[in-house]
């Protein structure tokens, strides 16, 4: 008989008599998931009627890199396999445990993640079997995978059959759902959000009471935060930075994160003539990130493929101009060219270096204005906006 691993402490449990209106499921919960879930808990229509399920609580999808913070004990969230990561247990075991948990919780609405096909299918089938409302949380876009007409037609048919509603992050996700002929009136937005208030208030507080030197940071620098992996195109960023410096640029480059490409990138940076101005800060917790956002002059997201790019939300909430690859799902919604930053095509040589030069040539007041514009734009993409969309679905 399958047994899930119990959580430490007296984590919340729900009986059939306390059936929540909404259950939200994610594979493993990071800071952005906590922000979204907390917003559901505090939404006036949903307060006290929301529960969460985390499938695995161990190592994340990228081997040897742990991104997950501990979940607060008081939250109504249960982890099915506390010590397991993405690669174990097998999908069918997670699906079986998930089905049992949903039977116990018996919610009216189930929010299903699109990043774990087997478990997501199980949760959606449970909802159809029990005649509950099923909602797909998706970050799929037309650009993030190869397009095969027959495969896409089958996928679209399955989505329309399994799900009553869908919620995506922005325009690129909604366009993908439209292509799948999912009913537009049953599509919601604002899935890709972070805790804007935390990043804004903490960064502002650090600026008021500290200097970059207090954290051993350069006076002016471009900032990257994220995994050091191929699809994030950090190699392309370092190449562009070298081109920028050879053209007379003076800002430093700070890289926060870890991943499979770190050693290669460190060797690459060390071999160029400006290696001392390229800083590898390693993996940092969510609580540590505001110190890097606080003193950065501009944030850069260079990905060659990225369903969204939540670090751009964080940087904008902290009041930074942004340079964003147009291959990122967030670019269409969060980047206003010339107003809060610069967009580039990662496949065009020199395009990113041109953005680095253009932004660093701006005076302090222009950079400040761009940062303020970032704050205005990202204020629309808030956890409260996401919770309002879920509440709309619940009462529909």
Do domains 16-193+382-395 and 196-378 share one topology? The answer is yes
Q: Which CATH number fits domain 16-193+382-395: 3.40.640.10, 1.25.40.80, 1.10.1660.10, 3.40.50.2000?
A: 3.40.50.2000
Query: Residues 40-60: pLDDT tens digits?
Result: 999 999 988 999 999 987 655
What dihedral angle (degrees, nearest 10) is formed by the CA atoms of 81, 83, 87, 91?
-10
CB of 320 closer than 8 Å to CB of 293: yes
Of 118, 112, 111, give the one whose Cα is nearest residue 86: 118
Alpha-carbon span 190 to 4, nearest angstrom: 32
Judged against a pLDDT cut of 60, whether residue 392 lies above it is answered with yes
What's the first-to-final CA gap in the chain, in angstroms?
39
Q: Per CATH, which fold does 196-378 belong to?
A: Rossmann fold (3.40.50)
Using 50, 70 and 90 to split pLDDT, how confident is the model at 4?
Answer: very low
Query: Residues 200-227: pLDDT tens digits?
Result: 999 999 999 999 999 999 999 999 999 9
Each domain of the chain, given as residue ranges in start order, spans: 16-193+382-395, 196-378
Encode 199-234: b = buried (16+ Cβ within 10 Å), e = exposed: bbebbeebbeeeebeeeebbebbbbbbbbbbeebbb
Query: Residues 94-104: pLDDT tens digits?
Result: 999 999 999 99
pTM over 0.85: yes
Using 50, 70 and 90 to split pLDDT, how confident is the model at 383?
Answer: very high
User: And the tokens for 175?
Assistant: 């366009």
């Amino acid at each position: 008989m399958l047994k899930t691993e119990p959580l430490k402490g007296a984590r919340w449990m729900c009986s059939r008599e306390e059936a929540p209106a909404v259950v939200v499921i994610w594979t493993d919960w990071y800071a952005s998931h906590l922000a979204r879930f907390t917003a559901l808990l505090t939404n006036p229509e949903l307060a006290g009627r929301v529960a969460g399920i985390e499938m695995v609580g161990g190592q994340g999808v990228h081997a040897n890199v742990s991104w997950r913070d501990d979940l607060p004990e008081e939250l109504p969230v249960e982890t099915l396999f506390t010590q397991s990561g993405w690669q174990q247990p097998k999908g069918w075991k997670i699906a079986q445990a998930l089905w049992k948990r949903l039977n116990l919780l018996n919610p009216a609405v189930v929010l299903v993640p699109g990043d774990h096909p087997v478990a997501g299918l199980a949760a959606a089938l449970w909802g159809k079997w029990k005649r509950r409302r099923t909602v797909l949380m998706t970050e799929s876009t037309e650009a993030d995978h190869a397009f095969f007409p027959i495969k896409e037609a089958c996928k679209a048919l399955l989505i329309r059959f399994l799900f009553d509603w869908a919620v995506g992050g922005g325009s690129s996700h909604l366009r993908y759902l439209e292509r799948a002929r999912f009913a537009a009136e049953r599509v919601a937005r604002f899935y890709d959000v972070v805790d804007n208030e935390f990043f804004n208030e903490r960064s502002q507080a650090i600026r008021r009471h500290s200097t970059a030197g207090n954290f051993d940071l350069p006076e002016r620098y471009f900032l990257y935060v994220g995994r050091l992996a191929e699809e994030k195109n950090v190699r392309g960023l370092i190449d562009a930075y070298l081109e920028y410096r050879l053209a007379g640029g003076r800002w430093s480059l700070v890289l926060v994160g870890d991943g499979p490409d770190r050693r290669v990138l460190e060797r690459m940076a060390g071999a160029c003539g400006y290696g001392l101005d390229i800083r590898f800060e390693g993996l940092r917790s969510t609580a540590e990130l505001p110190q890097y956002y606080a003193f950065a002059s501009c944030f850069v997201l260079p990905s060659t493929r990225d369903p969204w790019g939540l670090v751009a939300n964080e940087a904008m909430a902290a009041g930074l101009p942004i340079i964003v690859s147009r291959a990122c799902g967030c670019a269409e919604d969060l980047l206003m060219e010339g107003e809060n930053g610069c967009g580039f095509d990662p496949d065009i040589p020199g395009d990113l270096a041109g953005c680095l030069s253009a932004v660093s040539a701006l005076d302090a007041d222009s950079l400040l204005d761009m940062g303020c514009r970032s704050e205005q734009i990202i204020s629309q993409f808030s956890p409260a906006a996401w919770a309002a969309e879920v509440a709309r679905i619940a009462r529909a």
